[in-house]
Amino acid sequence: MLGRKERDQLELFITGSLRQLVPDDHILARVDRVLDLSWLRDEVADLYCTDNGRPGIDPEVAVRLMLAGFLLGIIHDRRLLREAQVNLAIRWFVGYGLHEVLPDHSSLTRIRQRWGAERFRNIFKRTVKACIAAKIAAGEIVHIDASLIRANVSWDALAVRHIADVEAADLSEFEWKDRQSGKHKKICTTDPDATMATSSRNRRLEPAYKQHTAVDDLAGVVLDVEVATGEENEGMAIEARLDAIAATTGVDIKTATMDAGYAYAKVFRALEDRKIEAIVPAKTEQLPGKVIPTRRFKLDAKHNLVRCPTGKILRPKGKLQRGSFQHFHASSKDCRACPLRSRCVSLSRHARVVVFNINHPSLLRARRKRLRWGKNEHNLYRRHRWRVEGIHGEAKSWHGLARAIRRGKDNMRIQAFLTAAAINLKRLAAVLFAILLMLAARVDDRLHHQRIASA
């Protein structure tokens, strides 16, 4: 017979917990087993008045709401609170019953503003330490990469700013090759922290932030994240990130893998100073042109001299320029009689001048080591490609990191920290869930053998 169900019946009594309605394999149920925020109240207590004012939202509730949104891919506060109204799993995860009124979405905004980005960094660091304690991260082999995140601005918000001439002494190592004198540059009027950048020469410039990510080799745990402007070069942040990783994990890094975007002399020097093995490929060399390039000149670091392609000596002259470069000048007499003068020296000069970074010996040693890569080094670099780039893809596809939610660098940092924390909690929960399944299977086998024996 055809059945009928009345849908207008009112519930008189509801007993039990909402947890009974949430499946054990639900992402929030699995994360709840490994999430510990008991320390959070003391962490933020100094930001609240103890004996005056209206009681605020429980700090753990606020963080659980934010984490639930990133775990489920609901990254906007308004949409998250609308979903929480009808989603039993979110209500149970944050500790609210069916009859309780959820916080307003604007409360999460005020909490982020009051706490600041560093409080959320501490939440992320706690997840890293939990993964290390669970032995799914070691911190010895680290994969580092950067990824662009589209800023939350429209194209109509871009304006053109004229960049005036910049003195050479104000340029850093990474800006020296990209000097733009008298060039027009676009800026964001609604989000000045975002800058124009692109990940490929075939793609147009877009307002973006750049996230530097460090991933552990064992299980893909995110060890460190930091957000910079989109135009900042990868090599400018590497020293601070290496020190931050070691401080968080409490373990010295043994091996670090990076792509060719980090193949700068300063980066190799930083790795050498910290006794870290570098798995970094060299940059692609430019095609030969009409002018003899600097790479044809050989630096003798021991005697601080340079030899030109014909064997003549170039000697250092003057003080270090731009804080990290040394000029080497050839003799005008040698250049006057050189057969390569037409390709080597411009018409406005009497002799060739080449510029080397003071860390250039570290770059030369890294290039020689790259030629001796063995099977282990090639395997590590292949793991780099799918470990750290896989994390970027996961964060952008499933956790909303493809685009900034809010404007401003601090808001972008909070988004990055919460996204990384959500990924780490997923890794930690997956391990615990696998252990529980294994224990349950063993118990079932034991009961099955007991039944057979009693029969």
Identify the band that residue 1 occupies on the pLDDT scale cut at 50, 70 and 90: low
Inform me whether the pLDDT recorded for 354 exceeds 70: yes
Predicted confidence (pLDDT) per residue in 77-98, tens digit? 999 999 999 999 999 999 998 8
Highest mean pLDDT: which range of 161-165, 369-373, 445-449: 369-373
Identify the band that residue 445 occupies on the pLDDT scale cut at 50, 70 and 90: low
pLDDT of residue 350: 85
pLDDT of residue 205: 85
Mean pLDDT of 403-431: 95
Please give the helix or strand (H or E) that residue 228 lies within, else none: strand 222-229
Mean pLDDT of 280-299: 78
Inform me whether the pLDDT recorded for 321 exceeds 60: no
Inform me whether the pLDDT recorded for 143 exceeds 90: yes
User: What HEC string does 230-276 produce?
Assistant: CCCCHHHCHHHHHHHHHHHHCCCCCEEECCHHHCCHHHHHHHHHCCC
Inform me whether the pLDDT recorded for 38 exceeds 60: yes
Mean pLDDT of 378-389: 91
- Cα 360 to Cα 179, 239, 319, 364: the distances in Å are 20, 17, 17, 6
Inform me whether the pLDDT recorded for 99 exceeds 80: yes
Number of Cβ within a 10 Å radius of residue 96: 18
CA distance 45 to 211: 30
Mean pLDDT (the chain) is 85
Q: Who has greater pLDDT, 318 or 132?
A: 132
Inform me whether the pLDDT recorded for 166 exceeds 60: no
Q: How much of the chain exceeds pLDDT 70, in percent?
A: 86
Identify the band that residue 155 occupies on the pLDDT scale cut at 50, 70 and 90: confident
Q: Indicate the Cα dihedral angle 202, 205, 209, 214, nearest 10°.
A: 10
pLDDT of residue 167: 43
Q: Who has greater pLDDT, 152 or 302?
A: 152
Q: Indicate the Cα dihedral angle 59, 60, 66, 71, nearest 10°.
A: 170
Dig out the tokens for 271 from the structure. 């790795």
Does domain 139-284+373-411 correspond to CATH entry 3.30.420? yes
pLDDT of residue 302: 81
Apex 92 CA angle, 400 and 52, nearest 5: 90
Total-model pTM: 0.85
Extents of the domains making up the chain: 18-115, 139-284+373-411, 294-363
Mean pLDDT of 30-41: 93
Inform me whether the pLDDT recorded for 72 exceeds 70: yes
CA distance 210 to 214: 13
